[in-house]
A and B are shown apart, each in its own frame.
Chain A
Amino acid sequence: MLRTSLIFVVIALLSLPFADLEITTSHPWTELGQIALGAIQPDLSALWQLKTALLNTVVFAFCGTSIGVVLGAGLAFGFSWAPIRLFCVFIRSIHEIFWAFLFLNIVGLNPICGVLSIAIPYAGIFAKVYAEIVQESDKQPLVGIPTGTGVISRFIYGVLPVIYADAKHYTTYRFECALRSSAILGFIGLPTLGYHLETAFREGTYQTAWALLYAFYLLIASLKYWLKPRLTPFYVVGAFTLLSREVTVSWANVLRFFTVDILPWPMRRVGVWSGTNHIDFSLVPVLEWIKDILITEGVEGVWNTLILTQIVLAGTGFFALLVFPFTCRHFSRWPMRPISQYVLVVLRTTPEYLLAYVFVQLWGPSMIPAVWAILLHNGAILAFLTSNNADRLQAQIDRPLRYIDRYFYEVLPRIYGQFLAFLFYRWEVIIRESAILGVLGIYTLGFYIDSAIVDHQLDKATLLILLTGTLNMSIDAVSQRVRRRLQISTKLFVLD
């Protein structure tokens, strides 16, 4: 384990010289002062005008999650079949924002775009996690069921009661993630919180921005009071009712997207310029076109994405190891412990895309904002989980008295396996985020995808999105192999 960790640290160190880590703004700290001022004096009156955005954020999250749960549960049944597993890996390897880029073209600026962008990757995630929960569940009850019982009955009486608690716990957590996803979809134009957050940060009206952020934190912190399993059906039906008021889908647009827009340009070129819409099915020019895009933009995009990912991966690990003692009962007491816990909650509640957006405004578009945004968000999650695990350790009677000894000789060795397993779980998440932050002007894959969307070259955008998906899938595979070889698992509970 130590050797693997060191290899990853070395990779990160080697990546550093290739990363663009300059702070390009000349007065980055004065702006930060303005932001801090906004935090003390939020303009709460703005919230009333923006109530529809808040409502939309919740509605999209409910509809997206519930569709994701239904599809994911369905897919989970077939998860042992490799093609389904691959399909799930694929749909979850593409970030919500990339899905939204595509759906904006298919269904337009309408709520169904937001809902599908959440539902599709979440279905892939739910399928995987539900299948894992079933796999690791206690199989005893199944033994008691008479032979010849139907598959559905076996599931309802033998499996569901065992996995219910875990599945519920995970689904609730995912709903919280969906709220974050829904909020950031506003950054690319959907009518959720992010829409107004983007404007507020762009225009420097930080008082409005903070009012929106506080509302968002409150929404997430209050989840446990109003998100009850029993009330969920009402919420879901209510959300779909509100949603359905605005949904209009033009089938002509859907058809155009699949039969024209995403066809590689060489197939369409003649038809477009002659006005005949003729489509040419010759393979060689298409391959040339693919090769050309991969060489000019794909290689640089992948390279920068990987550099960023590896730096952040190591950084996240260090951050978590450094910070978790502050929230762990073996090292920290009141008032340090609750304060650190709140800080971690705020960091993990803030969407990384939003953090990155703010940091780009502050420091300019280099890799620095991206590194810190992804690192803080993921580091906070990892620190929280690690500290939870450490809290479960029974302190031994002969434990070292000095904190530093206790840390290195008592606590760390006992939780390090789980820590690494969680970190490698986050790897796939980190690379998804590294790619997406290109939209903010860092030259990762997202930059080229955004440019292709701006130039209305949907075929190119789709190709680059597929490339991003493939890259994420490879990282997922590598991560799994590493975990298997080290024989580490998150055991206690799985948090994606």
Chain B
Amino acid sequence: MRSRIDDWSKWVLWIAIYSCLNSYSLNAICADFTFTAIPDQDTAGLQERFGKIADYLAKELKVPVKYIPVKSYSASVQAFKNNEVQLAWFGGLSGVQARLAVMHSKAIAQGKEDPNFITYFIANTNTGLSFTECFPFNIVDKTFTFGAKGSTSGRLMPEYFIQKALGKPPREVFKRVGFSGDHSKTLALVQSGSYQVGVINYKVWQKAVSAGQVDPKRLQVIWRTPSYPDYNWTIRGDVDRTYGQGFSQAVQQALIQLKAPEILNSFPRSSFISADNEMYQPILETAIELGIIRQ
């Protein structure tokens, strides 16, 4: 009996030692250029959507490029902060949060539409609400859903406009306030009547309309917000040190020169243009005003 136990423990010990050595050598290699993106819509199709741009960047930059999917807006910022990713496709707010957390990081590119981004307020037709040019004061006391808690077009800016027009935070304005999680979900929830009113990124809305996912008998745009700067590609300041001088500029060039329509459509953007940190100052100020970023 004793010898059998000895045998067992000997095996276990050997395997343990082997695995330690094995893992040690594996940890030594590292440092693919890695990026992520906020999961703002169609969360099942993320890998497909961003896998293409990973291939494109790898070809242009001549380094291995990896995309890692994340589950939430905050996880994308965390990954950026922890240097698990060096580049990210952020929303306006998440970009500001990320650049505050990582010194010397910079916004290098944005969609052509992003300097003048818009949020649509949408309503189920059974509310009787219809399109207005000025703020729709009759949304008071309806049920209302934002997108994700950390979204710019789905939370920050609409909350700001609601607060500005009605002088009260959303929870005091509406009968019920929810956070759907992403724009596609907001559309589904308002269309099904689960919420009467919602706010949605206008690019996602247009994409859904052209894909035939919107039933005009059940769902309507009731207001367009004034424009604000939104999505951006943000890169860590230390990439030039890791991947060679001029690397961040090369990434910027690659993004701006991206012409492949099937990649651009998946964002959906017509093209990428250059960006800088200054452009997002209004977002920072709004976030501070709403207490999302602390002063």
Which residues of A are at the interface with B, using a C-beta cutoff of 8 A? 22, 24-27, 104-105, 108-110, 187-189, 195, 198-200, 202-205, 233-234, 237, 240-241, 244-245, 247-248, 250, 253, 265, 269, 272-273, 275, 364-365, 441, 450-451, 453-457
Stretch of B15-23, B207-215, B243-251 at the chain-chain interface: B15-23
**B84 with A109: CB separation less than 8 A:** yes
Enumerate the 5 nearest inter-chain pairs by beta-carbon distance, A residue then B residue, closest first.
A244-B23, A26-B193, A189-B71, A241-B19, A25-B194
- Beyond A104-B75, A189-B72, A454-B74, whether A203 also contacts B22 by CB under 8 A is no
Q: Which A residues are in CB contact (< 8 Å) with B83?
A: 250, 253
B3 within 8 A of A: no
Please report the C-alpha to C-alpha distance between residue A27 and residue B195 in the assembled complex, in whole angstroms: 11
Q: How far is the CB of A105 from chain B (nearest CB, A)?
A: 6
Residue in A109, A188, A247, A273 whose Cβ sees the most chain B Cβ within 10 Å? A109
**A/B pair count, beta carbons within 8 Å:** 117
Query: Of B8, B84, B294, which is within 8 A of A233 by CB?
Result: B8
- Beyond A195-B71, A241-B23, A269-B295, whether A365 also contacts B15 by CB under 8 A is no
Query: Of B22, B23, B79, B294, which is within 8 A of A457 by CB?
Result: B294
Q: Which B residues are in CB contact (< 8 Å) with A275?
A: 103
Stretch of B58-66, B174-182, B222-230, B262-270 at the chain-chain interface: B174-182
B134 within 8 A of A: no
B253 within 8 A of A: no
Q: How far is the CB of A296 from chain B (nearest CB, A)?
A: 10
**A202 with B181: CB separation less than 8 A:** yes
B43 within 8 A of A: yes
If A244-B22, A455-B293 are given as contacts, then 10 extra A-B residue pairs at C-beta distance below 8 Å, sorted by A number, are: A26-B194, A104-B78, A109-B75, A204-B188, A234-B15, A237-B12, A244-B26, A248-B30, A451-B149, A455-B292
B27 within 8 A of A: yes
B273 within 8 A of A: no
Please report the C-alpha to C-alpha distance between residue A273 and residue B178 in the assembled complex, in whole angstroms: 32
B143 within 8 A of A: yes
Please report the C-alpha to C-alpha distance between residue A26 and residue B194 in the assembled complex, in whole angstroms: 5
- Beyond A25-B192, A237-B19, A455-B150, whether A188 also contacts B72 by CB under 8 A is yes
B125 within 8 A of A: no
Q: How far is the CB of A395 from chain B (nearest CB, A)?
A: 45
**A237 with B16: CB separation less than 8 A:** yes
**A454 with B150: CB separation less than 8 A:** yes
Please report the C-alpha to C-alpha distance between residue A471 and residue B34 in the assembled complex, in whole angstroms: 41
Please report the C-alpha to C-alpha distance between residue A481 and residue B57 in the assembled complex, in whole angstroms: 63
Please report the C-alpha to C-alpha distance between residue A253 and residue B83 in the assembled complex, in whole angstroms: 9
B101 within 8 A of A: yes
**A237 with B74: CB separation less than 8 A:** no
- Give the size range of B's interface with the partner: 35 or more
Please report the C-alpha to C-alpha distance between residue A441 and residue B43 in the assembled complex, in whole angstroms: 19
Residue of B nearest to A249 (CB): B27
Query: Of A110, A240, A244, A456, which is within 8 A of B101 by CB?
Result: A456
Please report the C-alpha to C-alpha distance between residue A453 and residue B188 in the assembled complex, in whole angstroms: 26
Q: Which A residues are in CB contact (< 8 Å) with B68?
A: 109
Could you show 11 A-B contacts with beta carbons less than 8 Å apart?
A: A24-B176, A25-B193, A199-B44, A269-B295, A273-B295, A364-B194, A441-B179, A450-B149, A454-B72, A455-B292, A456-B97
Query: Of B43, B178, B294, which is within 8 A of A365 by CB?
Result: B178
**A24 with B19: CB separation less than 8 A:** no
Please report the C-alpha to C-alpha distance between residue A198 and residue B69 in the assembled complex, in whole angstroms: 14
Q: Which B residues are in CB contact (< 8 Å) with A187?
A: 71
**B15 with A108: CB separation less than 8 A:** no
Q: How far is the CB of B67 from chain A (nearest CB, A)?
A: 13
Interface residues of B in 172-209 (CB under 8 A from A): 176, 178-179, 181-182, 184-185, 188-189, 192-195
Q: Which A residues are in CB contact (< 8 Å) with B71?
A: 187-189, 195, 198
Please report the C-alpha to C-alpha distance between residue A105 and residue B74 in the assembled complex, in whole angstroms: 10
Q: Which A residues are in CB contact (< 8 Å) with B27?
A: 247-248
**B15 with A241: CB separation less than 8 A:** yes
B283 within 8 A of A: no
Q: Which B residues are in CB contact (< 8 Å) with A453?
A: 74
**A364 with B44: CB separation less than 8 A:** no
- Beyond A27-B193, A457-B294, whether A441 also contacts B178 by CB under 8 A is yes
Please report the C-alpha to C-alpha distance between residue A204 and residue B189 in the assembled complex, in whole angstroms: 12
**A203 with B75: CB separation less than 8 A:** no
Please report the C-alpha to C-alpha distance between residue A11 and residue B294 in the assembled complex, in whole angstroms: 39
Q: Which A residues are in CB contact (< 8 Å) with B22?
A: 241, 244-245
Q: How far is the CB of B179 from chain A (nearest CB, A)?
A: 6
**A203 with B43: CB separation less than 8 A:** yes
**B75 with A189: CB separation less than 8 A:** yes
Q: How far is the CB of A269 from chain B (nearest CB, A)?
A: 7
Please report the C-alpha to C-alpha distance between residue A386 and residue B82 in the assembled complex, in whole angstroms: 49
B70 within 8 A of A: yes
- Beyond A189-B70, A454-B73, whether A364 also contacts B178 by CB under 8 A is yes
Residue in A245, A248, A454 whose Cβ sees the most chain B Cβ within 10 Å? A454
Q: How far is the CB of B127 from chain A (nearest CB, A)?
A: 12
Please report the C-alpha to C-alpha distance between residue A364 and residue B8 in the assembled complex, in whole angstroms: 54
Please report the C-alpha to C-alpha distance between residue A198 and residue B75 in the assembled complex, in whole angstroms: 15
Please report the C-alpha to C-alpha distance between residue A24 and residue B82 in the assembled complex, in whole angstroms: 39
**A202 with B185: CB separation less than 8 A:** yes
Query: Of A108, A244, A248, A269, which is within 8 A of B78 by CB?
Result: A108
Q: How far is the CB of B282 from chain A (nearest CB, A)?
A: 18
B141 within 8 A of A: no
Please report the C-alpha to C-alpha distance between residue A22 and residue B23 in the assembled complex, in whole angstroms: 52
Q: Which A residues are in CB contact (< 8 Å) with B79?
A: 108-109
Q: How far is the CB of A21 from chain B (nearest CB, A)?
A: 13
Q: How far is the CB of B174 from chain A (nearest CB, A)?
A: 12
B289 within 8 A of A: no
B122 within 8 A of A: no
Q: How far is the CB of A172 from chain B (nearest CB, A)?
A: 20
Please report the C-alpha to C-alpha distance between residue A200 and residue B176 in the assembled complex, in whole angstroms: 26
Query: Of A202, A203, A245, which is within 8 A of B23 by CB?
Result: A245
Residue of A nearest to B16 (CB): A237
**A203 with B42: CB separation less than 8 A:** yes
Q: How far is the CB of A158 from chain B (nearest CB, A)?
A: 20
Please report the C-alpha to C-alpha distance between residue A26 and residue B124 in the assembled complex, in whole angstroms: 11
B77 within 8 A of A: yes
Please report the C-alpha to C-alpha distance between residue A200 and residue B44 in the assembled complex, in whole angstroms: 7
Please report the C-alpha to C-alpha distance between residue A202 and residue B179 in the assembled complex, in whole angstroms: 13
Please report the C-alpha to C-alpha distance between residue A306 and residue B185 in the assembled complex, in whole angstroms: 30
**B26 with A245: CB separation less than 8 A:** yes
Q: How far is the CB of A69 from chain B (nearest CB, A)?
A: 15
Q: Which A residues are in CB contact (< 8 Å) with B184?
A: 203
**A456 with B77: CB separation less than 8 A:** yes
Residue of B nearest to A200 (CB): B44
Residue of B nearest to A363 (CB): B194
Q: Which A residues are in CB contact (< 8 Å) with B294?
A: 265, 269, 457
Please report the C-alpha to C-alpha distance between residue A453 and residue B292 in the assembled complex, in whole angstroms: 11
Residue of B nearest to A366 (CB): B176
Please report the C-alpha to C-alpha distance between residue A441 and residue B178 in the assembled complex, in whole angstroms: 7
Q: Which B residues are in CB contact (< 8 Å) with A241?
A: 15, 19, 22-23
